[in-house]
Amino acid sequence: MRRAPLRLAVGVGQLVVVAVVVFFLTTSLPGDTAEIVLGQDATPEQVAALRAQLGTDRPAGERFADWASGVLAGDLGRSLQTGQPVVTELSTRLGSTALLAALTLLLLLPLAVLAGTAAGRRAGSSLDRGLTGFLSSVQAAPEFALGLLLVALFALQLGWVPATGGGGGLVTPAVLVLPVVVLVANQLGRLARQVRAGVLTVDRAPHVVHLRRLGLPEPVVLARHVLPGAVLPTIQQLARVVDGLLGGVVVVESLFALPGIGSGFVEAVRARDLPLVGGYALLFAATTILVNLAAGLLSARLTPYRAVLT
Amino acid sequence: MTLSRRTVLGGALAGAAALALAGCGGSGGSGDRLRVAFPGGGSRESLDPHVVPQFVDQARAKACFDVLAGWSQDMAPVPRLAESWESDASGTRWRIRLRSARWHDGRPVTATDVLATWRRIADPATSASAAASYRTVDFATSRAASATELDVVLSAPNSFFPLAWGAPGAEILPEGRIDPARPVGCGPFRFVSFTPGRSAVYSAYEGYWDGVPPSRELEFVVIDDENARVGALLSGQVAWVHDLRPTSARQLESDSRARLVSAPDSNTLFLPVRVDRPPFSDPRLREAVRLGIDREALVRVVLLGRGRPGNDMFGAGLEYYPTDVPQVTRDVDRARALVTEAGAQGLAFDLQTSTASPTFDPAAGLIAQQLTEIGLRPTVRQLPSENYFTAIRTTGVASLTRSGTLPIPDNLARRAVSTATQANYTGFRDTRIDDLVARASAATDPAVRDAAVREAQLLLRAESGNLVWASGAYDVGTAAHLAGYDVARTNSATWARFDRARLG
């Protein structure tokens, strides 16, 4: 816990590096916003006029300095494409992504603990082999292939759920069913394997064996002594999952036309919308740093010896 | 403060649950709302009807606004806000009479609105898509003769002037009440709301001059992924989807839940080669490529038969298209001989492509293979799709492009004249085209006009390097029970017009 401020300070340094690298990588891409938003029929005069209007005809260094000073003053600037504040653009899309991430985690965590525990306590059994084999094969299926398969079956053939989002009136809770299933299927194998490995180790640990000898009921041994120790190694993996979900799941968002931050970032880069790209870069970097910091703190707090020593 | 392990675990679970519940919600669709889906990536996402780089921008503009005259299926002008028009013998003075129509705020559409609109389009600060078509309007002498009559003076004769009124981005706006954030139009639907990149909602306008639309609401939703668009149509989420790949078109043909609306000759597919740079500055090599590509095979493989081989001229099936020119066919022996004669056996060059159109990549692969058979050595080179059309104006010697439907005179005047910068991917500039366009524009005798347009088309076919390998269909899909939407070529007055469409 005491190292948290130091890690935060390092995180801020990482933010700065990410912002600089992303900004200059994007400026090195061919084409600029004026060309892209005006389309193929624009005349060079029209492109030049829009460049002047957007200020993209100025040197990259100068634009970066302007943007960075704005960021330091708490202003992320405005999108070159839409003219909207970058904060508005990000918050509009962040809601969709946060919802998708939260629902995925809500399903993923209990399923991973259940599957991992069942497999870990009966290691080598047919249940263990069956579960591990099934989860590995689901995890191995690419997201787009699994998504297309689920859409074809559950949306187009059976008509149980909508096929896609797409904004506006199409965004209903039912739209999220298939994307959540795809994301859970993609991550469940990894997390469950971690839990299985943890349960396998802790379940045979001397202190747990001793507690059983003392006659403690099995549910109590499992809930209070096996699982807390077994999920500990899973937290770092979970942090990677959360970071991935909050950083945008481009394939799933594209496949189900969900307006999240993954597809928003891709669109911003395609349009060379530098203030928006910078905003996304800061958001992604901040998310990664905070999620990993939280995971570190959580691991520290859940490690049993700390409770004994402090 | 001391946090127990149990508190930390419990708190984490409760937090996740709260976040999920807080996010649940959203609005369902209503029965009277017609939903249509377009790809929209890369658009500036503004509601300004004069800046319409994408099809979705044009469709939104068409719902809210109207034009003086639209384009028929063969790209001739058809009256809309203009009831009638006539010009003097020179083609420089025009009298336009407006029909009785009202803006969404109840005020009448007047001749001064039209003049103010044209001034705005011609103003370079607007970056209007149709600016080039209004450069010859003399605003100092043009005037509103009455509330519904307009006297227009052009700086040069232009018998094709009414075609400019139907160009994408030529919608009429109310003078002094232009607000792209909350647009007031005179079209069939009134603006309700707009979320850039996601959705735009309109409601039926009871005062529309052409009758109240049967759908109470119209919503444009943006779905970039083509699979997702088709899925949305087949699962009943949307009733109309734009821009389908040939494979999806074939899928919809055999699906009872949908109807394929296929507009023939709506997608001209080009193989432009640079005439101003080696190696294709050598006419023998241009002729070798022309004879070396197998257009029949390209149509069969790339378009799955949904089109016809091109004959190196824009506008198959449209007014002014010369139909009596013999179809160019593959002649491998002659093409090989030309390559040998030019000393270009094994000549390596890049064939530029991108994902800007789903036809480009498969066509590039097949064309490269076909040109290898005549002794050239093309390499397919992928460029980023977002600025592809700008990039190929300055780099490379051969690439793939395409165009939606446009009137042939409009295409000549805006894209083929020597001063044009738009869509010139071959570097061909010839003042003979300018003279022919000027002659056709000034002609009062239709025979003279036809002859000049034909001559320009043939000159471009022979020398411009802008080979046309196919004229393809443009496919949209509708729900099987959607009535009131018929086959419409892109850019025509009825394309993406939903004021008669209704879910049965």
Would A112 be classed as within a structural domain? yes
- A8-12, A97-101, B72-76, B303-307: segment of lowest average pLDDT: A8-12
- Output the pLDDT for position B258: 94
Q: Tens digits of per-residue pLDDT, A109-127?
A: 999 999 988 888 888 888 8
Are residues A248 and A142 both part of a single domain? yes
Distance of CA B225 to the CA centre of its chain: 19
More confident call, A262 vs B189: B189
A12-23 tens-digit pLDDT: 888 888 888 888
Decide which of A72, A101, A116 is a domain's last residue.
Answer: A72
Q: What is the DSSP letter of B108?
A: B
Same domain, A232 and A169: yes
pLDDT in the model for residue B163: 95
Q: Which pLDDT score is estimated for B129? A: 82
Residues B70 and B78 sit within 8 Å (Cβ to Cβ):
yes
pLDDT (0 to 100) of residue A61: 85
Buried b (16+ CB within 10 A) or exposed e, B353-379: bbebbbbbbebbebbbebbeebbbebe
pLDDT digits (tens, 9 = 90+) for B51-68: 877 888 899 999 999 999
Q: Is the pLDDT of residue A301 over 80?
A: no
Question: Which residue's entry shows tokens 């330091």?
Answer: A72
Same domain, A155 and A274: yes
Between A155 and A37, whose confidence is greater? A155
Where among A72, A100, A124 does a domain terminate? A72
CB contact under 8 A, A169 and B224: no
Are A166 and B197 an interchain contact pair (Cβ–Cβ within 8 Å)? no
Does B328 touch chain A if contact means CB atoms closer than 8 Å? Answer: no
A148 is a domain residue: yes
Query: For B118-136, what is the HEC assignment?
Result: HHHHHCHHHCCCCHHHHCC
Structural domain harbouring A66: 4-72
Nearest to A35 among B17, B24, B387 (CB): B387
Provide the shortest C-alpha distance from residue A155 to chain B (in Å).
6
Structure tokens of B422?
Answer: 């738009």
Which stretch, A48-52, A289-293, B366-370, has highest mean pLDDT? B366-370
Mean pLDDT across the stretch A36-53? Answer: 78
- Summary mean pLDDT of chain A: 84
Q: How far is B342 from chain A (nearest CA, A)?
A: 34
pLDDT of residue B179: 84
Report yes or no on A19 lying in a domain. yes
Q: At CA A93, angle to CA A88 and CA A97, rounded to 5?
A: 145
pLDDT at position B23, please?
38
Angle between helices A86-121 and A261-270 in degrees, nearest 10: 130
Residue B20: per-residue pLDDT: 40
Q: Do the beta carbons of residue B463 and residue B432 sit within 8 Å?
A: no
> What's the pLDDT at A230?
81
pLDDT of residue A273: 86
Residue A82 lies in a domain: no
Q: Which residue of A has its CA nearest to B234?
A: A156
A25 and A94, same domain (yes or no): no
Among A183-192, B33-42, B183-192, the range with the most confident prediction by mean pLDDT is B183-192
Q: Is the domain of A156 the same as that of A221? A: yes
Do residues A102 and A63 both lie within one domain? no
Instruction: Using the predicted structure, report yes or no on whether residue B32 has a pLDDT greater than 70.
Output: yes
Q: Count of domains in chain A?
A: 2
**Angstrom distance (rounded) from CA A130 to CA A122:** 11
Q: What is the 3-state secondary structure of A138-202? A: HHHCCHHHHHHHHHHHHHHHCCCCCCCCCCHHHCCHHHHHHHHHHHHHHHHHHHHHHHHHHHHHH
Whether a cis peptide bond, with omega within 30° of 0, leads into B279 is: yes
Strand B189-195 versus strand B149-153 pairing type: unpaired
Question: Where does a domain end: A72, A99, A119?
Answer: A72
**Regarding predicted confidence, which is higher, B274 or A215?**
B274
Per the domain annotation, does A84 fall within a domain?
Answer: no
**What single letter denotes the amino acid at residue B386?**
E
Q: List the beta bridge partners of residue B36.
A: B220, B240
From the list A163, A263, A307, the residue facing B231 with the nearest CB is: A163
Q: Say yes or no to pLDDT of B106 above 90.
A: yes
Q: Are residues A120 and A27 in the same domain?
A: no
Alpha-carbon gap, residue B279 to B371, rounded angstroms: 14
3-state secondary structure of B153: strand
Token pair, residue B249, equals: 């078109």
User: pLDDT at position B41, please?
Assistant: 59
> A69 or A172: which carries more pLDDT confidence?
A69
Choice between B302 and B357, residue whose per-residue pLDDT is larger: B302
Query: DSSP secondary structure string, chain A?
Result: -TTHHHHHHHHHHHHHHHHHHHHHHHHTSSS-HHHHHH-TT--HHHHHHHHHHHTTTS-HHHHHHHHHHHHHTT---B-TTT--BHHHHHHHHHHHHHHHHHHHHHHHHHHHHHHHHHHHHTTTSHHHHHHHHHHHHHHHS-HHHHHHHHIIIIIIIS-SS-S---SGGG--GGGGHHHHHHHHHHHHHHHHHHHHHHHHHHHTSHHHHHHHHTT--HHHIIIIIIHHHHSTTHHHHHHHHHHHHHT--HHHHHHTT---HHHHHHHHHHTT-HHHHHHHHHHHHHHHHHHHHHHHHHHHHH-HHHHHH-
Whether the ipTM is more than 0.95: the answer is no
A46, A103: one domain: no
Rounded CA separation B443/B157 (Å):
8
What is the least distance, in Å, from the CA of B241 to any CA of chain A? 12
Quick one: pLDDT band at residue A286, thresholds 50, 70, 90?
confident
Higher-confidence residue: A31 or A77? A77
Residue contact B35–A170, C-beta within 8 A: yes
How sure is the predictor about B14, in pLDDT bands with cuts at 50, 70 and 90?
A: very low
Confidence of residue B45 (pLDDT cuts 50, 70, 90): low
- Say whether pLDDT at B351 is over 50: yes
What's the pLDDT score for residue A166?
Answer: 64
Same-domain pairing of A250 and A104: yes
B43 in reach of chain A (CB within 8 A): yes
Tell me the one-letter amino acid at B296: E
pLDDT digits (tens, 9 = 90+) for B444-463: 888 999 999 999 999 999 99
Q: Are residues A59 and A140 in the same domain?
A: no
Residue A248's pLDDT is: 67
pLDDT (tens digit, 9 = 90+) per residue, B184-233?
Answer: 999 999 999 988 778 899 999 999 999 999 999 999 998 888 888 999 99
pLDDT in tens, B405-447: 999 999 999 889 998 877 889 999 999 999 999 999 999 888 9
Question: What whole-number distance in Å separates Cα of residue A227 and Cα of residue B14?
Answer: 18
pLDDT confidence tier of residue B9, bands split at 50, 70 and 90 = very low
**pLDDT at position B111 over 70:** yes
Q: pLDDT: is A167 or B1 the higher one?
A: A167
CATH of the domain at A97: 1.10.3720.10
Per-residue confidence band for B472, with pLDDT thresholds at 50, 70 and 90: very high
Residue A287 inside a domain? The answer is: yes
* Residue A159 sits in the same domain as residue A53: no
- Inter-chain contact A173–B132, Cβ cutoff 8 Å? no
* Partner-chain contact A99 B238, CB within 8 Å: no
Closest partner CB to A30 (pick from B23, B228, B384): B384
Give the C-alpha separation, A113 to B468, whole Å: 61
Residue A285 placed within a domain:
yes
Interface test with B, best of A36, A54, A106, A302 (most B CBs within 10 A): A36
User: Which amino acid would we find at residue B40?
Assistant: G
B135 vs A: CB within 8 A: no
Residue A302 belongs to a domain = yes
Looking at the predicted structure, is the pLDDT value of residue B386 above 50?
Answer: yes
Categorize the per-residue pLDDT at A81 as very low, low, confident or very high, splitting at 50, 70 and 90. confident
Mean pLDDT of B325-351: 96
pLDDT given for residue A168 in this prediction: 56
> Residue B419: its pLDDT value, please?
85
Least confident stretch, A79-83, B144-148, B265-269, B357-361 = A79-83
Chain A contact for B201 (CB, 8 A cutoff) = yes
Neighboring chain A residues of B360 at a CB cutoff of 8 Å: none
Say if residue A183 is in the same domain as residue A225.
yes
Query: Which residue is closest to A310 within chain B, CA to CA?
Result: B2
Out of B125, B195, B391, closest to residue A49 by CB: B125
Q: What pLDDT is stored for residue B466 in this prediction?
A: 96
Tell which wins on pLDDT, A23 or B365: B365
- Contact criterion met (CB < 8 Å) for A307 and B5: yes
